[in-house]
Chain A
Amino acid sequence: MNVGLGLFLSSASFGIAIAIAYWFSAHDDTGTWLLGMMGIALGFAAGYMIVAEREARLAGDQPNGSNEESAGERVGTYTLRSPWPFCAAIAAAFVLIGAVYNLPVAVAAFVSLLVTLTMLIRESR
């Protein structure tokens, strides 16, 4: 089994086990829900990894893998600069602040955020 998957599966099992132990020890709903949801969330991540792993064959998992073997394999397109993350962060900050103090500002910031996210998606293609 993949080490990453094992990590998420064991963490999910731990979350469920400690939630059960906590319930029998404390009979407290709040803590049991917190721990149980933690286990379930980790279980979702593990489930996703099981599905995703069916197709994945990672160079990093080959103990005797060499750089030559993976030469030419396209692992992604990297850019060294983009103005959009900075713009998106400012827009997101104003969405939060505007939601509390000035709704029109929040709406305008939300529209700006959508625009910057669209630009980010276009740029990464």
Chain B
Amino acid sequence: MSGVSTRDLPVPALARTGLLSWIATTDHKRIGIMYMVTAFAFFFVAGIMAMLIRAQLAQPNQSIVTSHTYSQLFTLHGTAMIFFFVVPFAFGLANFLVPLQIGAPDMAFPRLNAFTYWIFLLGALTVMSGAATNGGAAASGWFAYVPLSGIKISSGLGQDFWILGILMASISSILTSINLITTVFIYRAPGMTMWRIPIFTWEMVATALLVLMAFPALTADLGMLLIDRRFGGHFFDPAAGGSAVLYQHLFWFFGHPEVYIMILPYFGVVTEIVSTFSRKPVFGYVGMVLAAFAIAGLSMGVWAHHMFTTGAVSDPFFSAVSFLIAVPTGIKFFNWIGTMWRGSISLTTPMLFAVGFLLNFLNGGITGVMVASPPIDFHAEDSYFLVSHFHYVIGGGSLFAIFAALFFWFPKIFGVKLNEYWGKVCFAFEFIGFNLTFFPMYFLGVMGMPRRVYTYPNLPGWGSLNALATLGAAIMAVGVIIFVVNVIVSAIRRAPVPDDPWGGFTLEWATTSPPPAHNFDRLPPIRSERPVFDLRQSDLGSQRKR
């Protein structure tokens, strides 16, 4: 891109090659890759914890792990999946893609970008290092409710490390969001007006805006918790005039938007993939964008539906706003189906994962509408029904979209295409395994099995449904192993891949795979939201004239 100078600054010579070059990098593409690789590493760690949880629950009255170890496992599993996998992976993908999609040479603040990655990594390692302390890791859940996370019940260093680590991750998310919004608003290429930017980039703007509104509440909440624990504060101590419900208010003011922070980027991923493999433009582009912002806005007003059972919140208000979110989400579903309708659909691996996302997310979304009703929520609260609902949204939704994104953009990121046959086998294992794991949990929840218990009595149906769930988890694990082998084998074979193997529409497909340091040698004219499609058509037109 013209008008940009790339200047190498006087850093030690060692930092120009090898590991040190990665440590010192400020290139958005490398930082994006580092985010995604780190996020996937934490996915493996959290996945192993999930397998231990499922092994413990495979049969009634088992004692493979103790109750305290089990509490640490589900705390670290939830924390790692939410804070260190799903959200950072989205930021990694955005780091790599957003500047490319808007025709920018880098993020607006490259050094800040590098800082946010390192502080995120240090935060994640701080949380995990709690497991090596006396008393073990935090065991009060990913939500760290007081008094469970208070000094009286959780006196060990593990809980402190959890708070400090999440504070670091929060700072990282807030700064990354500022960087993303600035990049999109200021650094668009000539002709890339806001109403031409790809849907993925729009979804990242909505996500970044949500992070800026939601994460400060978490940062304040954890800061107050730390003061209560280590400096004699009483913010959340009812005996000294504090309020434990205040902790829940602040936590869920962050916590529910966090669910949408975890899903909005992946709405963008699925939109790009569905459009590309249906060979059609996105149906209802403006509607898609407005729906994303409607979801983001409404999600800020639903936090206390997690607190219906406290009896301290306005049930009608939070129930009504929770129901309302289904409307813009429904618009998105309508538009995805509209995009596929009469399209020339090719069922590649990314498209299969995108369709899997749609089916699973629909399942989780419908049960979400059910528990938005307080009478149902009172029965479902703290049961396996909620475990299933949440995992259908984030596991069946975000995780499937992550796999879709990996198969779709892997050629662009690494210049290597993953094997399609083994990709489809991986999808089959993931889809069957996922539904086998989590669908039985709806029934377990209705039967009354509570969540976060390390064992359960041998009641009718509980053992067999839990065994089925464990079998499903094992099938999912095999799917993940197939994916890893696919990555390794594809990387070794390095079959030649064109710059645009899928016939993509957006600007990242106009550059080489992988892109050069400055992103583009030349930019095509940008006159619509599908500049690469326009370029392809104009090339075809020129060939016909000749």
A and B are partners in one complex rather than unrelated chains? yes
Among A35, A69, A86, the residue within 8 A (CB) of B114 is A86
Chain A interface, number of residues (Cβ within 8 angstroms): 59
Looking at the complex, which of B1-9, B277-285, B348-356, B372-380 is the stretch in contact with chain A? Answer: B1-9
Closest to B246 in A: A30
**At the interface with chain A, which of B17-25, B56-64, B420-428, B444-452?**
B17-25
- Tell me which residues from 75 to 103 in chain A have a Cβ below 8 Å from any Cβ of chain B: 75-86, 88-90, 92-93, 96-97, 100
Q: Which residue of B lies closest to A24 (CB)?
A: B317
For chain B, residues 116 to 162, give those with C-beta under 8 angstroms from any C-beta of chain A.
118-119, 121-123, 126, 160
* A65 in complex: contacting residue of B12, B191, B226, B300, CB < 8 Å: B191
Residue A115 interfacial (CB < 8 Å): no
Distance between Cα atoms of A50 and B412 in the complex (Å)? 38
Residue of A nearest to B108 (CB): A76
Known: A75-B3, A83-B24. A34 touches B253 (CB 8 A): yes
Q: Are B118 and A66 in contact (CB under 8 A)?
A: no
Give A42's nearest chain B residue, CB to CB.
B213
CB < 8 Å neighbour of A82 from B3, B26, B188:
B26
Find out whether the CB atom of B190 lies under 8 angstroms from the CB atom of A86.
no
Q: Would A4 and B185 be within 8 Å (CB), given that A83-B11, A93-B119 are in contact?
A: yes
Kindly state whether residue A38 has any CB partner on chain B within 8 Å.
yes
Asked if A92 and B119 sit within 8 Å, CB to CB, the answer is: yes
0 or 1 for each of B100-119: is its CB under 8 Å from A? (1 = yes): 00100110001111110011
Q: How many residues of B contact A (CB 8 A)?
A: 77
By beta carbon, the residue of chain B nearest A18 is B301
Q: How far is the CA of A119 from the CA of B498 in the complex (A)?
A: 42
Number of A-B residue pairs at CB separation under 8 A: 191
Known: A77-B5, A77-B7, A100-B226. A83 touches B192 (CB 8 A): no
**A80 CB contact (under 8 Å) in B8, B102, B112, B192:** B8
Selected from B113, B189, B212, B297, the residue in CB contact (under 8 A) with A14 is B297
**Interface pair A60/B187, CB less than 8 Å apart:** yes
Contact A74/B5 with A35-B301, A83-B24, A90-B118 known, Cβ cut-off 8 Å: yes
B492 at the interface (CB under 8 A from A): no
Interchain CA distance A89-B366 in the complex, whole Å? 42
Given the complex, which residues of B lie within 8 Å of A62, measured CB to CB?
Answer: 190-191, 193
**Interface membership of A43, Cβ < 8 A:** no
Closest to B167 in A: A96
Chain B residues positioned under 8 Å from A66 (CB to CB) = 190-191, 525
Q: In the bound complex, do residue A18 and residue B111 qualify as a contact, i.e. CB atoms below 8 Å apart?
A: no
Per the bound structure, the CA–CA distance linking A61 and B190 in Å amounts to 7
Question: A26, B314: Cβ atoms under 8 Å?
Answer: yes
A1-30 interface bits toward B, Cβ cutoff 8 Å, 1 = contact, 0 = none: 001100100110011001001100110101
The one of B189, B191, B249, B250 that contacts A64, using a Cβ cutoff of 8 Å? B191
Q: In the complex the two chains form, what is the Cα distance from A81 to B127 in whole Å?
A: 28
B494 interfacial contact with A, CB 8 Å: no
| Contact among B21, B102, B122, B526 for A90, CB-based, below 8 A | B122
* Chain A residues with CB below 8 A from B523, complex form: 67
Nearest first, the 4 A-B pairs at minimum CB distance are A60-B188, A65-B190, A89-B118, A26-B314
7 pairs of residues in contact across A and B, judged by CB atoms under 8 Å: A77-B5, A78-B5, A78-B26, A82-B11, A85-B113, A89-B122, A93-B123
Interface positions of A (Cβ within 8 A of B): 3-4, 7, 10-11, 14-15, 18, 21-22, 25-26, 28, 30-31, 34-35, 38, 41-42, 58-67, 69-86, 88-90, 92-93, 96-97, 100, 120, 123-124
